[in-house]
Amino acid sequence: MTCGETQNLLDAYVDSELDWSSQLAIESHLQRCLLCSRVLARLKVLVSAMQRGTLKFKAPQHLKSIVLPAIGRASPAARHSFADWGWVVLAASMVVTIALSWLVTARIAKPSVDTPLMGDIVSSHVRSMIADHLTDVASSDTHNGSHRLPCNSQKICLSAKWRHLRSSALDGA
CB 29 within 8 A of CB 36: yes
Domain boundaries, the chain: 3-52
Query: What is the pLDDT averaged over residues 16-38?
Result: 92
Confidence at 42, pLDDT banded by 50, 70, 90: very high
Q: Torsion-angle region of residue 172: left (phi > 0), alpha (psi -120 to 50) or beta?
A: left
> pLDDT by residue (tens digit) across 58-96?
888 888 888 888 877 777 665 556 556 777 888 899 999
Answer whether 0.85 is exceeded by the pTM: no
Predicted pLDDT of residue 173: 47
Query: Which is more confident, 155 or 103?
Result: 103
Q: What is the pLDDT of residue 132?
A: 63
CA distances from 34 to 16, 22, 30 (A): 21, 19, 7
pLDDT (tens digit per residue) in 120-130:
888 887 877 77
Give mean pLDDT, residues 42-59. 84
pLDDT at 55 over 90: no
More confident residue, 146 or 66: 66
Distances (CA, A) of 105 to 45, 110, 168: 62, 8, 74
